[in-house]
Each structure stands twice: as structure tokens, then as C-alpha cells.
Amino acid sequence: MQSNCQTCKKDFEIRKEDLIFYEQVKTVPPLYCPDCRAMRRLAFRNERTFYRRKCDLCKKDIISLYTDDSPFQVYCHECWWSDNWDPKSFAQDYDSNKTFFEQYKELQRKVPRLALMMINSVRSEYTNGAAENKDCYLIFAADYNEDCMYGRLIQRSKNCVDCAFIYDSELCYECIDTRESFKCMYSEQCQASSDLLFCYNMRNSNNCIFCVNGRNLSNAILNVKYTKEEYGKKKAEIFANYESIEAAKKEFAELKSKTIVKYASQVKCHNVTGDYLHNCYDGVRVFDSSDAKNCSYMGDAEDVIDSMDCNNFYYKDELCYNIMGALQCSKSKNCAFVFYSNELEYCENCHNVTSAIGCNAVRKGEYMILNKQYSKEEYCEIKNQIDEQMKQEGTYGQYFPPELAPFGFNETLGYDYYKITEKEAKEKGFKWQNQTTGTFGKETISEKNMPKTIAEVAEDILKEILVCTDCKKNFRITKSELDFYTRMNIPLPHKDFECRHKDRMSKRNPRQLWHRACMCELKTHQHGTEKCSNEFETSYSPDRPEIVYCETCYQQEVS
């Protein structure tokens, strides 16, 4: 079934499997294409843009996702979770003379919002979208970590700095898409390995430099085995100073551009399209997900089943649709940040709630509409009224409209994946934030006077103000950060956290798919003298320099 997106006006396909799912969760087919649906959800997730302001309850200075001139009431973590206020005190009666979204906007503007989103963390105040962390700093979409700093989507890791999409690892630096690894640096898509330096797509390997697509390698440089002494000499050359590491980065980028790559980074997957997947089955357009079964149009998901159109979706979620941010939820639709709840619709930041519509910040309850409690019979009656009204308005089953997103689009995770301009954002109905964060021109050390090695750095660096070589924003070094650099023999960074994050994200493939054919022409493979005829959906665009292989041809080369 073909449909036309009401936002971008592009045609998109609604599969037979999609229609079956929509019937199962009692909703209607979407009016927007997968990308426009994702943009709407991601516009509700500000992960890394922080502002200084005061808590509107205790009046203390805090760090918040919201500017001081935001229209929302904002509480610090302690105040929001305290008994000093009651979300149900903001309850509204449903008014059939107004649209549902008009009424929800009124509630949204009144109910206090959390300054930062974190759950059960210890000494990890500057984390967001995070839970169960200890002694962590500026990590986002991160759970069950200890002593980690500056990263996104870090799970169950320890002493990892400047990493992204890293799982069950320790003592890693500037690693991307890495699992079960130890003491790896500047490496990508590696698993079950240790002491890797500038390596790509390695498995069960250790002490390797500039190696790609290696399996069970040891003491290797450019996939060739060397003695321990030769390996140590090469490593010392790379770590000689800041300039030698920057040169190694350029050499590694050139090496990657010439290597063969599998059409998608998928491990233990079956019948699923997308990229950066681990143990996923039966789905389309799934990205950065693990243990997802029968899920489609997903991003950043783990251990979920039978759901569609969800992002940052974790741990035992089931039968959900159009959700941004969820933990252990089921049978819920069109929500943002819902936790341990069931049968929710159009709810934000609700915890331990069952059967609710249009609620905000409720921490426990059932049969609620616009934060007001009802009997089951009253709830069902009003719910039917709301459904009928939204069907007449043409909004039934669709996500919150962009104007209800609490952030400017350029503040959100959506801007990481959809680099639209301010004009384009406003044409789509999104807000835009023009307030600048950070300080400029206050540096006490110029870029040219930065120490070249960590051996030149003394503890008084903690009192200095540095300047980013890219954006010219000022930043500082923390004590934990300095201890890590000293332990790992890494020179100080010359860029602030946000620019380092952008560099990491630029090394990953986009959340888009192109239909391509295998580029293998090796006569020793199963296709013989003919070019491989296998076709696939891949996140490598046709203008990329990499040589893209199908699963069969790739495995014959790396095994």
C-alpha cells in the first residue's frame, strides 16, 4: 500500500505486516513517512544541550535541559521526586469544545518538568537519559556504568571515556560500536578484544594496530603479525605526541575507506534490514538495537518485541507504537518518556501508570485523563469521546504535533540524524533555539600552547580554561578525566565534548538505506567467474568509497 507523507510530500510504503500490526494495537496507518515520524519523536529528546537556571521550587541553581526563559516550570531532581507537590493537583476536565492537543498543551505548560532525566544514579548529576550509573559525568542514554565520561549510549561499562555505542567494556577511549572489549582506543565495530589501537571490525583479537576485519589476531600491524618488540615500537611512535596521534587518525580513515565492508553491521540477525544490530529478528529499518524481535522503524532499542516506530526503547517493552523513551512498558502509543506502565496514550514522563490518556508527570495511577482520576467506566466513556473527536480532526493515531515538542529541533537528538536548517525546521512546524550555550574568549591557555604529551601536564591544568580548536568554545579538564589520560598515556583533547561527539557521529553510517548489489568479483567465491548477484538494503550510499559485500562474500574474506 502506497501513501503520501503529509509533511515532506514524498511517497512511502505501508507494508502488509504494518497494517496487521496497526490492527493489533488498535490504531490507524500513519499519515507521515518513517523519517518524518522519527523526527517528530526525536524532537522530544534533548540529550546534551544544557543550560544554567534556577529550580522553580527550591530556587537553587541547577543545570537543566530548559532555558531560563522556557515557558515550563522546571524542578531539580530532588524537588521533582519529592512529596512537596502532586502532579494530580493539575488535573483538568476534558472539554469536548476544544481539541485534545489544545487541552494537553495547557496541561503541559502547567506541570513541572524534570531538569535532567536520570534514575537511581550515584554521584552522576550531570547525566541525562541515564539510569543506575555511579561516578559518571556527561554520559547520555547510558545505563549501569561506572566511572565513565563523555559519551552516548554506553551500557554496562567501566572507565570508558569519549565513546559512543559501547557495551560491556572497560578502559576504552574514543571507541565506537564496541562490545565486550578492554583497553581499546580509537577503534570501531570491535568485539571481544583487548589492546586495540586504530582498528576496525575486529573479533577475539589483542595487541593490534591499524588492523581491519581481523579474527583471532595478536601482535599485528596492518593485519600482519609482528614480534612484541616491533609492536611496542610502533605503538610508542603513535603515542609520541599529539601530532603523531592526529597523523594516525588520518592514516586510519584512509585505511577504512579502502577496506571491504559488510553491507550492514549485523551480528546474529535474521530477516531484518538496518544497521548496527545485534541478535535482532524480523523487522525493517531498525538501527542501533539489540535483542529486538518483530520490531520495525526502530532506533536505540534493547530487549523489546512486537513494536513499531520507537526510539530509546529498552527492557521488556512490548506491543508499543510511536514511543520516544520507554522502560518496561506495554500496549502504549504516542508517548514520550514512560516507565513501567501499560496502556498509555499521549502521556509524558509518567511512571507506574496503567490506562491513561494525556497525562504528564504522573508517578502512580490508573484510569486517568489529563491527570484526573476516573472510574473504569467513566474512563472508557471519555476515552471513546476523545477517539471520536480526534478521528474527526484527522489526528487520531498520530504522534504529538511538532509544536508540542518542548525543545528547539537543533537542541534535540533529531538534529544528530536530520541536519535541517532553521527555515526547514520551522516549515515542518518545529521550534528552533537561538540561545547560545557555553562561554567564549575566556581561555587561559591558547591552542598553540597546549601540551603535546600528557607527561608535560601537571595538576594545575585543572585550574586552566582551554579552547576548542573547532568551535572556539571554552572547556575545562576534570580531575577524573586527567587521571584517565595519565593512566592511558593520552594527550589532552583539543576539542570540547560536543565537537568530539560530532566527530564520532560523523564516522557512523546514517539511518538511511539504499538498495545495492554486492560488489564482489572474486572468482574464488561461490559465484565463480560471474559477479555476485546478491542484493541488499545498506546504509552505505552508492557514492561511498568502501567496497560493499554481501554476507556470504564478506564471511569468505574475513573467516
The residue whose grid cell reads 586527567 is 482
Q: Give the torsion through C-alpha atoms of 362, 137, 182, 257, to 10 deg.
A: 90
Pairwise CA distance, residues 186 & 162, whole Å:
10
> What is each CA distance from 94 to 91, 100, 357, 383, 392, in whole angstroms?
10, 8, 11, 10, 17
| 373-387: pLDDT as tens digits | 999 999 999 999 999
| 408-456: pLDDT as tens digits | 999 999 999 999 999 999 999 999 999 878 889 999 999 889 999 999 9
Res. 529: pLDDT tops 90? no
Residues 6+ apart with CB under 8 A from 384: none
Q: Give the torsion through C-alpha atoms of 401, 21, 28, 325, to 10 deg.
A: -20
Contact 557, 268 (CB under 8 A): no
DSSP three-state, residue 258: helix
Pairwise CA distance, residues 137 & 524, whole Å:
51
| 64-103: pLDDT as tens digits | 999 999 999 999 999 999 999 999 999 999 999 999 999 9
The three cell numbers of residue 396 are 487520531
Measuring CA to CA, which residue among 48, 540, 117, 524 is closest to residue 325? 117
Measuring CA to CA, which residue among 199, 253, 250, 254 is closest to residue 222? 199
| 234-290: pLDDT as tens digits | 999 999 999 999 999 999 999 999 999 999 999 999 999 999 999 999 999 999 999
- Residue 559 pLDDT: 62
Q: What is the pTM (predicted TM-score) of this model?
A: 0.94
Pairwise CA distance, residues 176 & 167, whole Å:
10
* Domain coordinates in residue numbering, the chain: 118-262
> What is each CA distance from 179 to 150, 188, 193, in whole angstroms?
17, 10, 8
268: region left, alpha or beta (phi > 0 left; psi from -120 to 50 alpha): left
Residues 6+ apart with CB under 8 A from 131: 118, 119, 120, 121, 143, 144, 327
Res. 521: pLDDT tops 80? yes
Measuring CA to CA, which residue among 350, 325, 302 is closest to residue 154? 302
